[in-house]
Amino acid sequence: MNRHEWITQAARLQKAEQPFALVTVLSAQAPTSGKAGDKAVVTPEGQIHGWIGGGCAQPAVLKTVRRALLDGLPRKIRISPSDESAERDLGDVLEFGMACHSGGTLELFIDPVMPAATLTVLGDSPVARALVSLAPRVGLRVAVVAQGAVAADFPDADTVLASDEVSAVRAQLTSTPYVVVATQGRRDLQGLKAALALQPQGLWFVSSAKKASVLRSSLLASGENPDDVARIVAPAGEFIGAQTPEEIALSVLTSVVAARRGREPQAASVPATPAAPVVAQAARSCCAGAAKSVDVQAAAQPQSSVALVAAVEPIAALAPVAVPAKSSCCGG
C-alpha cells in the first residue's frame, strides 16, 4: 500500500469539490502498525486513501470523520486497548476503546476539508450586487440568477444565469445550500418560486414583513408547499441599523454565515419604536367643578418598516397647538 497515496487523492477530491477528511497519526505506542506522521484521506463513504494503521482503528476513525464532515469541525481522538468499545469525551480528545488483541494506542487528528458552499442570489438590485461582491470574501461561491443577467456585470460570481424561470433554475443549479432573494420589487414572486425550487437549507427574502406576508399568501395560493413557504426568512438579515445597499448586504450575509456555522436562520429582529409620550392636561368643568384629567395621545406612530431595506425617516416634532379660551357655561 502506498502511504503517500493521500496526496494524489486529496488533490483529486479538491478539484472535484468533494468533501473529505485528512487524518494524521499524532502519536503511536507499540504495538501499532500506524506510525506518527502517517496520513490518509478519508471520504464520507468510508474509503481510506493512505495509511493510518490497521483495521482495529478504522471504525472509530470512520465514525469521527462522518461527524466532522457534518459540522466542519476538527477533532482529536485516542484509540487505546479496552475490554469495551465505549467512547468518552475527555474535553480535548475523544477516547475510543479498542478490543483488538494487537493492543497499542493511537492518537489521531481529523481535519475536515469542505468544498466552498454556494450562495445563490436572485435579483439584479443594488443589494443583490453588493451581496455578490461581499460573499466571496467569506469563502462562499456565488451564483446569480436574474432575468437578462450578464456575466460581465458580476465579475465576482462563479455562475450567472440569465433567467429566473423555475425550469431553467432547476436545470442549471442542482445544489446550493443558501439562497437570498433580493429582487426588491422586480419579479419578486418569480424569484421566490425559483428559490423554493432549489430546496435550499436557508432561504432569505430582502423585503418588509408586510410584503413578505402578501407574497407568502400568493405562493400558497399557487400551490407551493406550506412547509417550504414557512421557511422563508423575511425580513432578511441581522438588525444592524443598515441603510445603504452595502450595509443591507452585510447584514444578510451575517445571517448566512451564522446558518453555515450551525445557527437556525431567523428573521431580523427590529427594535420596537418607543411609544409617544402621553400629555396630561387639566380641563375645567362647567360651573367651577373639579378639574378632570384628559389624556391627549400623540399622533399614532407610523408602523416600523424594515430597517434593513429602507432607512426610517425621522418623525417631526409635533408643534404646540394653541387652544382658544372657552367661556364657562355659567358665564364665567
Q: Which residues contact 17 (CB under 8 A, 6 or more apart)?
A: 115, 116
Q: What is the pLDDT at residue 101?
A: 61
Q: What is the pLDDT at residue 229?
A: 96
The predicted-structure confidence for 244-262, as pLDDT tens digits, reads as follows 999 999 999 999 999 888 7
Which residue matches cell numbers 427574502? 205
Q: What is the pLDDT at residue 55?
A: 76
Range 243-248 contact pairs with CB under 8 angstroms and sequence separation of 24 or more: 243/310, 243/311, 245/125, 245/126, 245/127, 245/129, 245/130, 246/130, 246/134, 248/127, 248/130, 248/206, 248/308, 248/309
Q: Return the C-alpha cell found at 213.
A: 406576508
Q: What is the pLDDT at residue 20?
A: 96
DSSP code of 274? P
Residue 155 clears pLDDT 60, i.e. is over it: yes
- Measure the CA–CA gap between 216 and 232, rounded to whole angstroms: 8
- Phi and psi at 75, nearest 5°, equal -145, 150
Q: What is the pLDDT at residue 72?
A: 84
Residue 317 clears pLDDT 50, i.e. is over it: no
Q: Nearest Cα to 236, choosing from 219, 216, 201, 212? A: 212
The predicted-structure confidence for 213-236, as pLDDT tens digits, reads as follows 999 999 999 999 999 999 999 999
Alpha helix stretches (DSSP H) within the chain: 5-15, 58-71, 126-134, 166-172, 188-197, 209-221, 226-230, 245-260
- Measure the CA–CA gap between 21 and 69, rounded to whole angstroms: 7
Residue 163 clears pLDDT 70, i.e. is over it: yes
How many residues are present in the chain? Answer: 332
Highest mean pLDDT among 90-99, 120-129, 160-169: 120-129
What is the mean pLDDT of the segment spanning 157-172? Answer: 90
Domain ranges for the chain:
5-113, 118-260
Residue 119 clears pLDDT 80, i.e. is over it: yes
The predicted-structure confidence for 75-92, as pLDDT tens digits, reads as follows 999 988 876 667 888 888
The strand ranges marked E within the chain are 20-29, 39-42, 48-50, 75-81, 87-89, 94-98, 105-113, 118-122, 141-145, 159-161, 178-181, 202-205, 232-233, 278-283, 292-297
Helices (H) and strands (E) in the chain, counts: 8, 15
Was domain 118-260 assigned CATH 3.40.50.720? yes
